[in-house]
Amino acid sequence: GENVEQHPSTLSVQEGDSAVIKCTYSDSASNYFPWYKQELGKGPQLIIDIRSNVGEKKDQRIAVTLNKTAKHFSLHITETQPEDSAVYFCAATLISGSARQLTFGSGTQLTVLP
């Protein structure tokens, strides 16, 4: 089965700096990679995702890059703000005709210092 590793487990940055979170996956067949943001006491929120037919996707201050050969993908947050502080989870799965479960990374606690 799929295994997703996520690093770092904690990350502190100064407001305005960039933050990068990295994940690696084991199953080369996986082709969908979402990122979730979870604030304390709340459910995860889908913030960006990427499919394996592209190498990069950007949405305002958030971007995700994918290297299929190396089987790793990264979340980049630029111009960080205190409200970006949360736990971020990466995930991977194979899109197919039937429902497929997501395999999650262990999470990264991001703290943006004002």
- Mark the segment that binds other proteins (CB under 8 A) among 18-26, 57-65, 75-83, 99-107: 99-107
- Compare residues 18 and 101 and give the one whose CB is closer to other proteins: 101
Q: Is 2 in the site for other proteins (CB under 8 A)?
A: no
CA distances from 96 to 30, 32, 47, 53, 101 (A): 10, 10, 22, 15, 11
Q: Is 67 in the site for other proteins (CB under 8 A)?
A: no
Q: Is 42 in the site for other proteins (CB under 8 A)?
A: yes
Q: Is 57 in the site for other proteins (CB under 8 A)?
A: no
Q: Is 114 in the site for other proteins (CB under 8 A)?
A: no
Buried b (16+ CB within 10 A) or exposed e, 57-71: eeeeebbbbbeeeeb
Q: Is 35 in the site for other proteins (CB under 8 A)?
A: no
Tokens 């947050």 belong to 77
* SS3 (DSSP) at 10: strand
